[in-house]
Structure 1
Amino acid sequence: MFSAGFSGLALGGSLIVAIGAQNAFILRQGLIRSHVFILCLICALSDALLIAAGVGGLGTIVAQSPVLIQVVTLCGAVFLGTYSVMAFRRAAKPGAMVAGAPEPMGLKAAVLTCLAFTFLNPHVYLDTVVLLGSLSAAFEGTERVAYGAGAAIASCLWFFGLGYGARFLAPFFARPAAWRVLDVVIGVVMGLLALGLLLSFLGGE
């Protein structure tokens, strides 16, 4: 049971620790210390829900539904492209900086943005539901539960570590120029992800 839980923890951690749209958003929110707890909680619970669905067998249904993946892919490309443009606009307007940091989103806007980053990313379904779900077939009963719990714990540790650990970078981001660099990087990452999703959508038609 411990071995199964560790396997889930290791695999879940390896999948989530990567530069992506969701992680970039949480990092930025952590730097400005805006709604960090609720956003990290949303990400962690969302991953736990998707992991549970995958371990429970939903991965097979998702894998056999190319139309669903295509719809999510297109919506994700549009959303990420829009956010990329917003990031570049922030970087181009130093007047938007207040005391060396950007003005935070309201709670509703932050929550909706976080949910969009989570559920409009087809890779989230492929990683958590399909991949983690299919690999859970190697375990039975309580071992499968432990495997899913390990993967969910890895997600929780990562998001809260990223969100609250970002504040240690605050001295570096005391200068507006640093925020401009971060927003340019975020804009590039989001833009490349959007382009990748768009090409995937066009290739799948």
Structure 2
Amino acid sequence: MAVFFSGFFLSFSLIMAIGAQNAFVLRQGLRREHVLLCVLICGVSDALLIALGVTSFGVLSAQMPWLGPIMRYGGASFLLVYGVMAFRSALTSTEALNVEGRARSDWRKVAATLLALTWLNPHVYLDTVILLGSIAAQYGEQRVVFGAGAIFASITFFFLLGFGARLLAPFFAWPKAWRILDALVGATMWAIAVSLILNG
């Protein structure tokens, strides 16, 4: 269970960073439009990518032992930079979530937009295939358990984001809410990066 929860919490921390994909799901959730469709697209996409990372990265690491340390420190560097970007956004962002005054979206357009935001985003591959894959490889035969925890975290997060969004509407109408969230994300990214370096 410790390995499962390691995968769960790491994956959850990575996914919670507010990017284009999460903001889109959040907006759809606040508008209560095609929420289940959005949640399924994100959850299934992440499950496929995490499974790919957990299975393929382990094979590559066995054939190229030097790849694991490179990806570990590369992942830590990425997380440190990502944390800096989150902290910068926390200091400068003035965004408030505005979902009023828009016509109801067509489900096909929603699906196409979300698929593009998911599969054409390079950060998705860095997070799921490379970063989670490299960390899962360190667990050896238990990497599947780690991957299962990561997949469960992704599905849990998107269900909470999509269907719980209506509860957050008053909060995210306040511009400082995004800054607080970005600061928390930055701190989480830095904590994970330090953990990767120290455990290397």
TM-score, normalised to structure 1, is 0.62
CA–CA separation in structure 1 for the residues paired with 2:144 and 2:152: 12
1:116 aligns to 2:141 (yes or no)? no
Contact 2:57–2:134 (8 Å) recurs in 1: no
Partner of 1:52: 51
Q: Per-residue deviation at 1:167?
A: 1.2
Q: Deviations over 1:48-69 (max 9, x none)?
A: 10000000115859x9xxxxxx
CA–CA separation in structure 2 for the residues paired with 1:158 and 1:169: 14
CA–CA separation in structure 1 for the residues paired with 2:24 and 2:149: 24
- Give the secondary structure class of the aligned counterpart of 1:102: coil
Unmatched 5+ stretches in structure 1:
64-90, 186-205
1:158 aligns to 2:126 (yes or no)? no
CA–CA separation in structure 2 for the residues paired with 1:128 and 1:52: 9
Partner of 1:125: 125
Partner of 1:19: 18
1:145 aligns to 2:134 (yes or no)? no
* Paired amino acid for 2:122: P
Q: Per-residue deviation at 1:101?
A: 4.2
Q: Per-residue deviation at 1:115?
A: 0.3
Q: Deviations over 1:142-190 (max 9, x none)?
A: x2111001001111111110111111245679xxxx6xx8xxx8xxxxx
- Give the secondary structure class of the aligned counterpart of 2:55: helix
Contact 1:30–1:162 (8 Å) recurs in 2: yes
Contact 2:57–2:137 (8 Å) recurs in 1: no
Number of matched residues? Answer: 142
CA 1:169–1:3: 2 relative to 1, 3 Å: closer
Partner of 1:32: 31
CA–CA separation in structure 2 for the residues paired with 1:10 and 1:31: 25
Q: Deviations over 1:26-46 (max 9, x none)?
A: 000001111001111110110
Q: Per-residue deviation at 1:104?
A: 2.4
Contact 2:45–2:118 (8 Å) recurs in 1: yes
- Give the secondary structure class of the aligned counterpart of 1:19: coil
Q: Per-residue deviation at 1:140?
A: 2.6
* Paired amino acid for 1:128: T
Q: Deviations over 1:87-106 (max 9, x none)?
A: xxxx9xx9xx8xx4421211
* Paired amino acid for 2:115: L
CA–CA separation in structure 1 for the residues paired with 2:128 and 2:171: 34
**Of 132-141 and 38-47, the range deviating more from structure 2:** 132-141
- Give the secondary structure class of the aligned counterpart of 1:18: coil
CA–CA separation in structure 2 for the residues paired with 1:149 and 1:101: 40
Contact 1:51–1:148 (8 Å) recurs in 2: yes
* Paired amino acid for 2:42: C
Which runs of at least 4 in structure 1 moved beyond 3 Å after TM superposition?
A: 58-61, 169-173
CA 1:58–1:112: 2 relative to 1, 3 Å: farther
* Paired amino acid for 1:104: R
CA–CA separation in structure 1 for the residues paired with 2:15 and 2:133: 15
